[in-house]
Amino acid sequence: MVAAAVAWARDVLSPDRVTWIRTRPWAEVWRLETADDRYWLKINSSRTVYEPRLLQLLQGTGSDLLSPCIAHSSQPWSLIRDAGRSAREALDGVEPAIRIDYWCGVLAEYAELQRAAARLDLAVVGVPDFSPAQLVPRFDEVLAAPGWMSTKLTPELGEDQFARIRTV
């Protein structure tokens, strides 16, 4: 599947360079550089196959929070235009209080996007139901999913913090 996704991305963008970046439980990411721009190829795993369709749907909200993307018509692959430095890079070494203020602002903006998306039919694109009514019943399911909660993926949290989350 990875080779086919990279071939699709090459056909769409004709990049000068293609570089593997990382593999996570939810997706594999590749960087594609063209003469004019940088894109990210995201190859979603079986638990997040809906994401490319969700990105396309959210683009219809007109939000400037999302970079332009191209989704494959039948595979869980998307090409997302680079939006600059990641939050993790931008906040590296920044005081915790400033990081918290930053995330509170960003999360408020994304909450607005979620409210706009609530008017759309998310179920049609396959987004799992993690609405407030489903959050508690599905909490154990999220914790049990292999690889999602680890210090390797989230080095900012220690094992003691993950253990506290698991006791909730």
User: Which pTM does this prediction carry?
Assistant: 0.79
Kindly report, residue by residue over 85-114, the tens digit of the pLDDT. 999 899 999 999 999 999 999 999 988 887
Q: Find the helix or strand (DSSP H, E) in which 38 lies.
A: strand 38-44
Measured between alpha carbons, how far is residue 132 from residues 34, 124, 154 in Å? Answer: 42, 19, 24
Contacts of 6 (CB under 8 A, 6+ apart): 18, 30, 41
Across the beta sheet with 38-44, the strand order is 17-23, 27-33, 38-44, 77-81, 69-71
Which parts of the chain register pLDDT below 50? none
Kindly report, residue by residue over 65-87, the tens digit of the pLDDT. 999 999 999 999 999 999 999 99
Domain range summary for the chain, segments of one domain joined by +: 1-127, 129-168
Instruction: Tell me what the pLDDT averaged over the chain comes to.
Output: 90
Size of the chain, expressed as the number of residues it contains = 168
Fold type of domain 1-127: Phosphorylase Kinase; domain 1 (3.30.200)
